[in-house]
């Protein structure tokens, strides 16, 4: 096992309109990256989210249904998380954890794809994904995460800051608002220092800088306060902040096979 590294991947992009990402922005075409992450930790491989399910590469409409009229996946088969890890020489059996920021359709590509993995998610998110409200239902593809034989670890409300390996290297930060059980991640690397993966608690730098609300959310007040919570954490830790779907910020990061250590 190699020393701890953070690899940034993407399952292509989603084509949508600007207002889907920034509330009340225009109807012009917009294209956002769909990031996911691999952490190589001395105690095992950890996948975060996994992007879109690989089925989106061949027939997104069959897999996602009508929501593809709003968010259209553009991805290649080799961008699927299993395929991308295999290309790096990592077998699916060797992934120890799949961590979920939340269970929206562009964050469940890894769910059930790694046979020995424990899938970690907030209980609140799992329960909501199983019975979402009408306005959020299109964002959850139940067949991605309601699969037989998965090992789940559910985090309850009193487990904010959950420390995956007990060594402070990977922590869950509860950031509801975008989704009821959304989590961001604080990853502590030796050379780079702390990295804050905001995921969809901040879609873009506009959202991070409190200049725009996201185009989709479950609770406006919670979404705003989660950004403020992450601001405080970033100030305290001096973390490098990575937003969830920012087409301008995303290209500035190192992408796999390059990595942060």
- Which residues have a Cβ under 8 Å from the Cβ of 252 and sit 6 or more positions away? none
Identify whether the C-beta of residue 223 lies closer than 8 Å to the C-beta of residue 200.
no
Smallest distance from Zn ion to CB 3, Å: 29
Range 94-118 burial, b when 16+ CB lie within 10 A, else e: ebbbbbbbbbbbbbbbbbbbbeebb
Identify whether the C-beta of residue 197 lies closer than 8 Å to the C-beta of residue 154.
no
Nearer to Zn ion, 52 or 189 (CB): 52
Nearer to Zn ion, 5 or 182 (CB): 182
Smallest distance from Zn ion to CB 196, Å: 16
Smallest distance from Zn ion to CB 193, Å: 25
Nearer to Zn ion, 90 or 214 (CB): 214
Provide the 3-class DSSP secondary structure of residue 208: helix
E-assigned strands of the chain? Answer: 5-17, 29-41, 44-48, 72-74, 95-99, 118-122, 151-155, 170-174, 183-189, 193-199, 240-243
Smallest distance from Zn ion to CB 101, Å: 8
Q: Contact positions toward Zn ion, by CB under 5 A? A: 106, 200
Nearer to Zn ion, 67 or 188 (CB): 67
Smallest distance from Zn ion to CB 145, Å: 14
Nearer to Zn ion, 106 or 144 (CB): 106
């Amino acid at each position: 096992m190699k020393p701890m590294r953070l690899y940034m991947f993407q399952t292509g992009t989603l084509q949508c309109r600007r207002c889907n990402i920034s509330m009340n922005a225009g109807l012009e075409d917009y294209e956002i990256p769909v990031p996911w992450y691999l952490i190589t930790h001395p105690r095992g491989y950890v996948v975060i989210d996994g992007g879109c399910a690989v089925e989106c590469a061949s027939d997104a409409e069959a897999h996602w249904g009508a929501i593809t009229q709003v968010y259209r996946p553009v991805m290649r088969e080799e961008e699927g998380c299993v395929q991308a890890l295999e290309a790096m020489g990592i077998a699916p059996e060797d992934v120890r954890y799949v961590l979920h920021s939340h269970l929206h359709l562009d964050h469940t590509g890894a769910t059930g794809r790694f046979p020995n993995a424990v899938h970690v998610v907030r209980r609140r998110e799992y329960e909501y994904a199983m019975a979402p409200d009408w306005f959020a239902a299109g964002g959850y593809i139940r067949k991605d995460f309601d699969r037989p034989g998965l090992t789940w670890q559910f985090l309850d409300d009193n487990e904010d800051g959950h420390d995956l390996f007990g060594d402070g290297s990977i922590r869950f930060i509860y950031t509801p608002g975008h989704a009821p059980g959304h989590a961001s991640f604080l990853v502590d690397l030796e050379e780079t220092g702390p990295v804050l993966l905001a995921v969809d608690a901040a879609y873009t730098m506009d959202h991070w800088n409190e200049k725009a609300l996201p185009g989709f959310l479950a609770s406006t007040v919670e979404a705003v306060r989660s950004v403020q919570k992450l601001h405080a954490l970033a100030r305290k830790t001096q973390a490098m902040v990575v937003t969830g779907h920012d087409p301008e910020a995303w290209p500035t990061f190192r992408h796999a096979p390059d990595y942060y250590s």
